[in-house]
Amino acid sequence: MKIFGFDFSNLSFSKEENLKHNRHVLKTLEKTVKNGFSPDGFIENQNRLACIKYSARNFAYCGCGCIAYWNILFSRGKVFGIPRLASEMERGCVFRGVFGTNAFFMKRFMEKKGEKVEVSLSPEEILENGAKEAIVMYYKKPRIAHYVAFTAAGKDENGKNLYRFYNVGGKLMRKFGEGNPVIMTLEDYISETAYNFCIYFKLN
């Protein structure tokens, strides 16, 4: 059944079966560009990961919130299994994944993991406070919401902070090339994505 373009059919799932399935899949899944990973191991294209179950949907459909936090953990060199993180985070999915991961859940979940999370609607606050790592959840008409993690990546020739953005999707992925790192200023990222609304989660 579809309502306003959203598919509400097949909303049943088993948390235990999802975990079992994902562990089995990721035992043999090669972490290559063809399978959604960058050469240095980050998840960069969730559309290639429909094989990973997440709530009643999958990573390709609604996994961006979980992927964003996993990429942050991976950037710190922490080994945190994708199946385990997905299993813990899927309880925060809205309508079992139809509307992705709840933003309020994201904040509470990360805080329970020991993160110090500051929430802001302003990119200026992120820049002024010199964020080293953050997650942005943005909304873009007509009905696209997406989480993207970003981490500090030095400065450009003008002294502006550069960030590496993960799992950007869309035209930015096409512009930089699938699997290649997307490194730019936050201002340029905002200009490129042209979103209508966003929430920033600054970590630590």
Q: Which residues of 108-138 are buried (b: 16+ CB within 10 A; e: fewer)?
A: ebbeeeebebbebeebeebeeeebebbbbbb
Task: Examine the domain organization and report whether 128 and 108 are in the same domain.
Answer: no
- pLDDT more than 90, % of the chain: 57
- Contact predicate 107/184, CB 8 Å: no
pLDDT tens readout for residues 147-163: 999 999 999 999 988 99
Closest CA to 144 of 186, 107, 100: 100
Q: Give the pLDDT band of residue 9 (cuts 50, 70, 90).
A: low
Please provide residue 35's backbone torsions phi and psi, each rounded to the nearest 5 degrees.
-105, 15
Task: Examine the domain organization and report whether 19 and 108 are in the same domain.
Answer: yes
56: pLDDT strictly greater than 90: no
Domain-located, residue 170: yes
- Contact predicate 193/123, CB 8 Å: no
Contacts of 73 (CB under 8 A, 6+ apart): 80, 85
46: pLDDT strictly greater than 50: yes
Domain-located, residue 179: yes
- pLDDT more than 70, % of the chain: 87
69: tokens are 């936090």
pTM of the model: 0.90
pLDDT tens readout for residues 71-97: 999 999 987 899 999 999 998 786 555
Domain-located, residue 196: yes
* Amino acid letter, 4: F
- Count the domains in the chain: 2
Domain hosting residue 83, numbered range? 8-112
Hey, which residues does 88 pair with through a beta bridge?
Answer: none
